Amino acid sequence: MKLVQTIKELQSELDALRSEGKTIGLVPTMGALHAGHASLVKRAVAENDVVVVSDFVNPTQFNDKNDLAKYPRTLDADCELLEKVGAAFVFAPSVEEIYPEPDTRQFSYAPLDTVMEGRFRPGHFNGVCQIVSKLFMIVNPTRAYFGEKDFQQLAIIREMVKQIGFNGLEIVGCPIVREADGLALSSRNARLSDEQRIQALQISKTLFASVEYAQTHTLAETKAFVESAISTAEGLRLEYFEIVDGSSLQTVCDWKDGSYIVGCITVFCGEVRLIDNIKYKE
């Protein structure tokens, strides 16, 4: 495995491999890697000849400077994990390497990017599209891998690729990876205290319970069930819970309104913002 920090070096390495007919998988990350990221890399390794993992905390997708400052950075540990799971390259550029000048590009994929995270984190998805599109142009991968925990992000990236093209790039969505007790793996979990870690379990427990609850209750009742459980849980503050069409991300009002229905939630545990989702119909 090779650690690369410049675009020029990475492209030189990949051009040589591409000339040999090698397929290239890309796993974009912001570092602070865990078993969820490892699952993405393992799948990429299984489906491609060469795998590149980017390890870059992208400043343009943070609308909260404090959140950016507190985001964990663990490059050495990340490299150890990535070598074990078979990555060929770790691309860990500086901010100056990626943004030698401000990126003024504007991406708009309404209504996908105006609801949920788009509503509560203005500018977030524009920053995501800036960095992901840059990585696609730098790496020119055959396939790129993203976790379904960031469900809205995945839908927006699919739409961006659909509209821009990127040489027929295939976007691969991978299932949420959870701890044995159900908590969705997240780099932000490292910021939870032991007590908060226990409190945060209520998020996944409630979502799992709501799937069974939904079998005998209306969509509105199910939404209220989740909102009540989280709002009354110790240490948690609900930002939103929406039940949406899994493709359009638009709110649905009845279980009959679609064949692919997903519940998306964001909860603060102390100062740590956690997201999760659950599929009701697929």
Residue range 4-27, pLDDT digits in tens: 999 999 999 999 999 999 999 999
Pairing status of strand 89-91 against strand 50-55: parallel
Mean pLDDT of the chain: 97
Q: Is 37 a catalytic residue?
A: yes
For residue range 81-119, list pLDDT tens digits in order.
999 999 999 999 999 999 999 999 999 999 999 999 999
Confidence of residue 33 (pLDDT cuts 50, 70, 90): very high
Predicted pLDDT at 257 = 94
Confidence of residue 53 (pLDDT cuts 50, 70, 90): very high
pTM of the model: 0.95
pLDDT at 265 over 90: yes
Mean pLDDT throughout 220-240? 98
CB 112 within 8 A of CB 152: yes
**What is the Cα–Cα distance from 63 to 273, expressed in whole angstroms?**
13
The two tokens of residue 163 are 């509209």
Q: Which residues pair with 111 in a beta bridge?
A: none
Q: What is the DSSP-derived secondary structure letter of residue 30?
A: -
pLDDT at 237 over 90: yes
pLDDT at 65 over 90: no
Predicted pLDDT at 109 = 97
Predicted pLDDT at 64 = 86
Predicted pLDDT at 192 = 96
